[in-house]
Structure 1
Amino acid sequence: MFRFLALLALLLPLAPAQAYWEYGHETIARIAYANVRPATRAAIRRVLADQALLGTPECPAGDVAQASYWADCVKPLKDAAGQSRFGYAYAWHYQNVDVCRPFDRTSACIDGNCVSAQVERQAALLRAPDTTRADRVRALAFLLHFAGDLHQPLHAGDKSDRGGNDLAAAYGIYAPKRFNIHSVWDGPLAERAITSGPPLVRRYPAATRARLAAGDVASWSRESWQVSHDAVYASALGGDACAPSPARVTLDDATVARLAPTLRDQVLKGGLRLAKLLDRALG
């Protein structure tokens, strides 16, 4: 029974309703909410009070935690003709910048169809005084989500493997067939990272906020891409991120322990940087 429960605990974070970036997005949004100015916090509540204007009762967005994964929740929604209602936004969740070539955000963001461009666009919509109420609540939900996506390294850089989805992986002793390097970082590794150490959701000193939120969306994008190279692929491929990828990789216990703080830092940075964007847009 103990072994069964242990395996179940590892499996549950990967179920659709409990995927890491539901938990991860919630954590990043809550960090941001705890670190924005009081006026920004009040403005966020006012905007989310219009959640009905999203027209997605299946995917509530009544608070920052719900709104932070709204953009994933709405992906399968279809209109009366059976067409995807939000298919236009699929490419907004990531940018496939090759980690083994010089960083090139421009070619990955043609017509704004990438995560970093959409972080900038949704923040601008949220800030603009003439944005309609419906567009404003949608922009806030997208921004809350995309700021999290930007700090998941495999949404910022990959090796032509769909953000690691095509690279099968084992996590420690646990290796279900449906694991890949992306789901490892989304699921059990992220669960461990967020729950290890003091609670991440708290108010941070001004000096910490200023240090970790320094820079802009472009520099954060490049940083996450570098983490994808230095941590994700290097750890999976024996230290050489650009070595040919095998059919399957294994992250042993020592590697997992080494990587968890890196992902924990990404979550914290994502939250404090989102707070900075929200203060600029709504504060």
Structure 2
Amino acid sequence: MKRMLAILSALLISAAPASGWGKIGHRVTGAIAERYLTDEARAAVRDILGVETLAEAAEWADFMRSNDEEFWRNSSSLHYVTVPVGTAYDPANAPQSGDAFTALERFSAMVVDADAPLEDRQLALRMIVHIIGDLHQPFHVGSGEDRGGNDVTVVWFDTVTTLHLAWDEDMVEYEQLSYTEMTDWLDARITPELAAEWMDPDPLVWIAESAAVRDSLYPDDAELRYDYFYEHRDLMRLRLSQGGVRIAAYLNALFAEEVE
């Protein structure tokens, strides 16, 4: 078993990019966000995306990473930030290709540029929605030591995977809910008081939150089963819920500035 884990670990390490919450998780954050948009932000999103919903837009950045264009070939670093243990995020340490924080600044300027081509503004908005979701997945705020848990091999109910992918997909999919069901379940628990508390458009706040919980998520045992899910389900749900509200908070602030 240990030999097989070592072989599969090598394969996973060479093949596993940091991809965010996965389809369901990203759709959930986008769908929650739509419920908290201001009228101005909702109108701006509609002008840019047309009939495309934020739930649909939220997963586009992962889909496009298989595109052979230079931008997409070099886009992996835009999905995460690095915050070493015991430090705070510093954009000066971002790689030359950028990271999620610097990309958010770049795409924010692009999406409110009325002179930019519509295609560029659509790319920018889709990337913004996706990146905000990513920053609420704790392992997208990596320590710089194990590629955000991608180098940590675990077994999720008999399936060999990585700790990063367990949080991207396995924890969410174990709920066996569609993204619309999960959206409804989570949103029903977001009280007006919680929504107001979470309505913070500052990426540094979200990054600090993920960094604060990240190190507590490393398991003592590589075999993750019911006890791991039981222990961490509430945090997974919290970060999805907060990610959705923060997408709305960020877009509300962004498009409010545009119309002033």
The TM-score by the shorter chain falls in which range? 0.7 to 0.9
TM superposition outliers: structure 1 runs of 4+ over 6 Å: none
Report 1:134-145 matches (<5 A): 134-145=119-130
Residue number among 148, 159, 171 corresponding to 1:189 in the alignment:
171
By how many angstroms is 1:215 displaced? 6.1
Report 1:54-203 matches (<5 A): 62-79=52-69, 84-98=70-84, 100-111=85-96, 113-158=98-143, 160-171=145-156, 174-177=157-160, 179-192=161-174, 195=177, 199-201=185-187
By how many angstroms is 1:123 displaced? 2.4
The 1:104–1:35 alpha-carbon spacing in structure 2 relative to 1, beyond 3 Å, is closer
Which SS does the other structure have where 1:102 is aligned?
Answer: coil
Counterpart contact for 1:123–1:278, Cα < 8 Å = no
Aligned length: 233
- The one-letter code of the counterpart of 1:140 is L
Counterpart contact for 1:34–1:202, Cα < 8 Å = no
Residue number among 195, 203, 208 corresponding to 1:209 in the alignment:
195
1:41 partnered with 2:42: yes
- TM-score when scaled to structure 2? 0.79
CA distance in 2, matches of 1:72, 1:197: 20
- TM-score when scaled to structure 1? 0.73
Report 1:5-16 matches (<5 A): none
For 2:244, the equivalent position in structure 1 comes to 271
For 1:281, the equivalent position in structure 2 comes to 254
CA distance in 2, matches of 1:279, 1:109: 26
Which SS does the other structure have where 1:141 is aligned?
Answer: helix
Q: Aligned-residue CA RMSD in angstroms?
A: 2.7
Percent of residue pairs bearing the same amino acid type: 26
Counterpart contact for 1:94–1:150, Cα < 8 Å = yes
1:28 partnered with 2:26: no
Which SS does the other structure have where 2:200 is aligned?
Answer: coil
- The one-letter code of the counterpart of 1:72 is D
For 1:3, the equivalent position in structure 2 comes to none
Report 1:225-264 matches (<5 A): 225-230=211-216, 232-233=217-218, 236-237=219-220, 249-264=222-237
CA distance in 2, matches of 1:133, 1:104: 32
CA distance in 2, matches of 1:203, 1:226: 23
The 1:198–1:135 alpha-carbon spacing in structure 2 relative to 1, beyond 3 Å, is closer
Structure 2 unaligned spans of 5+: 1-19
The 1:85–1:105 alpha-carbon spacing in structure 2 relative to 1, beyond 3 Å, is closer
- Tell me the alpha carbon deviations over residues 131-159 of structure 1, each in whole angstroms, 9 at most, x when there is no partner: 33222111101011101111111111235
CA distance in 2, matches of 1:169, 1:216: 33
For 2:209, the equivalent position in structure 1 comes to 223
Structure 1 unaligned spans of 5+: 1-18, 50-60, 238-247
Counterpart contact for 1:32–1:274, Cα < 8 Å = yes
For 1:56, the equivalent position in structure 2 comes to none
